[in-house]
Amino acid sequence: MRPEDTVYKLIELYNEKRFSEVLQYVFEPIFPGEKFLENLFNKEGRIEKIELLKVQVEDQICIMEYKMKNKAGWSEGNLLLIREGQTWLVVTKGSDKQWLADFGRKCAIDYANKMRKLIQCAKVSSYKLEEGKIDNFFNQIAKNYPIILFGVGAHHSQESYDILINCIKFLNKFGYRDILVEFPHSFSWFYNKYLQTGDFHYYRIIGDEGDFFKRLYEINKNLPTSKKIKVWGIDVDHLNYAFVYQIEEYIKKISDIQLEERVLTSLSPFWMQNKELNINIMKTLESIFEEYKEILIEKTSNRDFRRIYQLMKYNELSAAVFKDDYNKLREEFLQRKFVDIYTELSKGKRKKIIGVFGNWHTAKVSFSWDCNFQKLGEYLNKRYKNKIYSIDMLPIEGEFYESVHSNVVRKINIPKGSIEEILAKNIKITPVLIDITTLKDYCFYDRAGYFVSPETYDSVILYKSSLPKRI
Q: Give the lowest-confidence range in 195-199, 243-247, 415-419.
A: 415-419
Task: From 359, 356, 355, 357, select the one nearest 384 (Cα to Cα).
Answer: 355
Predicted confidence at residue 377, as pLDDT, reads 93
pLDDT of residue 10: 94
369 pLDDT more than 60: no
The verdict on residue 225 lying in a domain is: yes
Asked, for residue 49, whether it belongs to a domain, the answer is yes
Domain check: are 222 and 351 in the same one? Answer: yes
Query: What pLDDT sits at residue 132?
Result: 66
Domain boundary among 109, 141, 165: 109
pLDDT at 128: 81
Q: Burial, 247: exposed, middle or buried (Cβ in 10 Å; 0-12, 13-18, 19+)?
A: buried
Q: How many percent of the chain have pLDDT more than 70?
A: 92
Residue 329 and residue 458 in one domain = yes
In terms of domains, do 92 and 177 share one?
Answer: no
Q: Which span out of 121-135, 240-254, 384-398 was modeled with the highest average pLDDT?
A: 384-398
Q: In the predicted model, is pLDDT for residue 108 greater than 70?
A: no
Residue 368 has pLDDT above 60, yes or no: no
Determine the average pLDDT of the residues in 359-378.
Answer: 76
Q: What is the rounded CA–CA span in Å between residue 92 and residue 31?
A: 7
Nearest to 147 by CA among 389, 420, 324: 389
CATH number at 83 reads 3.10.450.50
Residue 292 lies in a domain: no
Check residues 144 and 403 and name the one with the higher pLDDT.
144
Interval 288-335: pLDDT, tens? 999 999 999 999 999 999 999 988 888 888 888 877 788 888 999 999
Is 376's pLDDT higher than 80? Answer: yes
β-strand partners of 62: 57, 81
Q: pTM of this prediction?
A: 0.77
Q: What pLDDT digit, counting tens, does each position of 202-218 carry?
A: 998 888 899 999 999 99
How far apart, in whole angstroms, are the C-alpha atoms of residue 392 and residue 277? 39
Domain shared by 349 and 459, yes or no: yes
Are 358 and 437 members of one domain?
A: yes
Give percent of the chain with pLDDT exceeding 90: 45
Same domain, residue pair 98 and 137: no
Residue 404 has pLDDT above 90, yes or no: no
188 and 160 housed in the same domain: yes
Q: Are residues 131 and 105 in the same domain?
A: no
249-255 mean pLDDT: 89
The verdict on 86 and 163 lying in the same domain is no
| Residues 147, 99 within the same domain | no
Instruction: Grade residue 18 by pLDDT with cuts at 50, 70 and 90.
Output: very high
Is residue 383 situated within a structural domain?
yes
**How many domains does the chain fold into?**
2
pLDDT at 72 > cutoff 60: yes
Within 10 angstroms of residue 352's Cβ, the number of other Cβ atoms is 19
Q: What is the DSSP string of 34-50?
A: HHHHHHHHHHH----EE
Domain of 393 in residue numbering reads as: 127-236+322-465
Selection from 207, 153, 224 nearest residue 405 by Cα: 207
Average pLDDT, the chain: 86
Note whether residue 408 is domain-resident. Answer: yes
Task: Please tell me the predicted confidence (pLDDT) of residue 272.
Answer: 65
Residue 49: beta bridge partners? Answer: 69
Residue 301 lies in a domain: no
For residue 96, is it within any domain? yes
Asked if residue 178 belongs to a domain, the reply is: yes
Question: Does residue 339 carry a pLDDT above 70?
Answer: yes
Q: How would you class 389 by CB atoms within 10 Å of its CB: exposed for 0-12, middle for 13-18, buried for 19 or more?
A: buried
Length of the chain: 471
Please provide the DSSP assignment of 128-155 as one string. Answer: E-STTTSHHHHHHHHHH-SEEEEEESSS
Distance (Å, whole) CA 19 – CA 31: 13
Q: Is the pLDDT of residue 42 over 80?
A: yes
Q: Do 10 and 46 share a domain, yes or no?
A: yes
Q: Which of 75, 109, 143 is the last residue of a domain?
A: 109
User: Is residue 357 domain-shared with residue 453, that is, in the same domain?
Assistant: yes
Decide which of 109, 143, 177 is a domain's last residue.
Answer: 109
